[in-house]
Structure 1
Amino acid sequence: MSKKDEFDDFLPERKPENYSIEIPAEQRPFENNRIPSGYEPMGEIELRGRVFSGLASGRVRWWVLITGWIIFGSFALVMIFVAIQSSLIVGLIYLAIAAIPIIVLFRGTMAKLSRRNRRNRYR
Structure 2
Amino acid sequence: MIELIMTSIIAFFILGGAFFAAVSALGVIRLPDVYSRLHAASKSSTLGVMMMMTGTFLYFWYIEGHVDSKLFLAVLFVFITGPVSAHMLSRSAFHADVEPAESTVLNELKRDETREEESAQ
TM-score (normalised: structure 1): 0.37
Larger helix fraction of residues: 2
TM-score (normalised: structure 2): 0.37
Higher gyration radius (CA): 1
